[in-house]
Amino acid sequence: MIEELIPKVKQMIIDSLRIDGMSPDEIETDAPLFGEGLGLDSIDALQLVVAMEKEFGVVVPDAATGSTVFASVRSMAGYIAEHRK
């Protein structure tokens, strides 16, 4: 289930953050999304929360949960698989 979600999560990141010229294959599955990895910031995190809710029906209830969920693409896919409606 998680492996099936990974390409969808990568595409959601590209679409919701409007990252031009990047393909899902260029996003490393286990790399950090914030800091030295993909280099996302807190505004990006808010956009991803909204995108996850819209696309997968999954709610990230608070910042503490969000810091775990948004650690990597794999952690996002795992959270979606576990909490999907």
Q: Let me know if residue 60 belongs to a domain.
A: yes
Tell me, what's the pLDDT at 43?
93
In a domain, 23, yes or no: no
Domains held by the chain: number: 1
Per-residue pLDDT of 20-63, as tens digits, reads 999 999 999 999 999 888 899 989 999 999 999 999 999 999 99
pTM score of the predicted model: 0.93
For residue 40, tell me if it sits in a domain. yes
Determine contact, residues 51/15, Cβ cutoff 8 Å.
Answer: yes
Burial of 14 (0-12, 13-18, 19+ CB in 10 A): middle
Q: Give the domain range for residue 49.
A: 2-18+28-83
> Is position 57 within any domain?
yes
Rounded to whole angstroms, how far apart are CA atoms 2 and 13? 16
